[in-house]
Amino acid sequence: MKNIAVIGAGTMGNGIAHTFAQSGYKVQLIDISEESLKKGMDTISKNLDRMVAKEKICEDQKNETLENITTFTEISEGVENASLVVEAATENTDLKLKIFRHLDQSTSEDTILATNTSSISITQIASEVSNPERVIGMHFMNPVPVMKLVEIIRGYNTSDEVTKTIMDLSEKLNKVPVEVNDYPGFVANRILMPMINEAIETLYNGVAGVYEIDTVMKLGMAHPMGPLQLADFIGLDVCHSILEVMYDGFKNPKYAPCPLLTNMVRAGKIGVKSGEGFYDYSESRKAEKVSSQFNS
Ligand SMILES: NC(=O)c1ccc[n+]([C@@H]2O[C@H](COP(=O)([O-])OP(=O)(O)OC[C@H]3O[C@@H](n4cnc5c(N)ncnc54)[C@H](O)[C@@H]3O)[C@@H](O)[C@H]2O)c1
């Protein structure tokens, strides 16, 4: 495997492209938005600068990593010659089904098609492809260059051979792959999202403020980051979509997104990427809590 196509240059896509490129793979990074591609490449460059400053890599390794990445705005051009496609576009079922229908037409039968979806059924996505045994979930964690885990999700039809190839490849990226089965939220988000949703519900009910809730979980449970700040980093839109998928998939009201989360997504306050969520990420007030509205 030499050429890897990554679809989506947002939070996850640029991290996935960075990780493959730093391990020596040629990466074809695809996004419909030129602006996202530019922003994604800037992020990769800044993250590499930070690694150079910390002496984790040298200047030459930074340049080689950047040279390994080429950008595209057309899926058909970007996936040419790719042995593996990792889809990391927006968490939306219809969008992902459409992308995989396109991939079915534009890739050869032996190209492995992976999706970084946080919750959408791998089996459903694979149903858009004429040979679904080549479709698999490759769920990287944020920030990708730092986080060790890759949750590998086998769809109903995913072959043993494809699963082994992707488990081995994840190890070559210096990650730890864990194999799980295809049910809503898989393992990571089935456990994480109800906790985040409950933290938002606790805020919504006026039990405590943003700072208090996050501090209880950080200092009391030894979590490196509070659940509200973690939600800001994941993206409140992404959290909302995952909860909707689990709510729908299990038909269980315990997964219904908290009304405050829904309101914040509708208002465009979706966390770090929009500059404001439970905290303010604007340059002047970096990571201050948004106090007036949410503190009891
Ligand atoms: N944010 C997280 O912490 C996290 C963690 C693990 C997995 N994920 C999953 O990764 C995927 C991407 O999430 P994200 O947080 O990077 O989202 P994001 O909003 O930061 O980025 C999504 C990118 O996809 C692009 N896009 C949309 N439609 C496209 C198309 N048709 N072709 C090509 N590009 C397209 C957008 O322009 C955008 O740049 C989602 O499936 C999400 O569930 C997210």
The residues that are catalytic are 118, 139, 151, 189
Q: Which atom of ligand 1 is nearest to the CA of 15?
A: 16
Looking at ligand 1, which residue's alpha carbon is closest to its atom 11? Answer: 88
Q: What tokens were used for 196?
A: 């985040």
CATH code where residue 266 lies: 1.10.1040.10
> Structurally, how many domains does the chain consist of?
2
Residue 295 has pLDDT above 50, yes or no: no
Residue 32 within a domain:
yes
CA of 122 to the centre of ligand 1 (A): 16
Based on the fold, state whether residues 176 and 264 are members of the same structural domain. Answer: no
Report the interhelical angle of 210-221 vs 188-204 (nearest 10°): 140
| Cβ(90) – ligand 1 distance below 6 Å | yes
DSSP letter at 48?
H
What is the pLDDT averaged over residues 9-28?
97
Based on the fold, state whether residues 64 and 206 are members of the same structural domain. Answer: no
Q: Which atom of ligand 1 is nearest to the CA of 117?
A: 41
Note down the domain range covering 107. Answer: 3-181
pLDDT in tens, 125-182: 999 999 999 999 999 999 999 999 999 999 999 999 999 999 999 999 999 999 999 9
CA of 155 to the centre of ligand 1 (A): 20
DSSP letter at 277?
S
State how beta strands 149-154 and 135-140 pair. antiparallel
Beta bridge partners, 176, equal 149
Residue 197 within a domain:
yes
Residue 296 within a domain:
no
DSSP H or E stretch at residue 188: helix 188-204
Looking at ligand 1, which residue's alpha carbon is closest to its atom 37? Answer: 33
Q: Which atom of ligand 1 is nearest to the CA of 241?
A: 43
Based on the fold, state whether residues 177 and 243 are members of the same structural domain. Answer: no
pTM to 2 decimals?
A: 0.90
121, 147, 181 - which closes a domain: 181
Based on the fold, state whether residues 132 and 173 are members of the same structural domain. Answer: yes
pLDDT > 90 in the chain, percent:
93
| Cβ(89) – ligand 1 distance below 6 Å | yes
Q: Cα(53)–Cα(63) distance, rounded to whole angstroms?
A: 14
Based on the fold, state whether residues 18 and 163 are members of the same structural domain. Answer: yes
Residue 296 has pLDDT above 80, yes or no: no
| Cβ(103) – ligand 1 distance below 6 Å | no
Please state, rounded to an integer, the average pLDDT across all residues of the chain: 95
Q: Nearest 5 degrees, angle CA 128-CA 133-CA 85?
A: 70
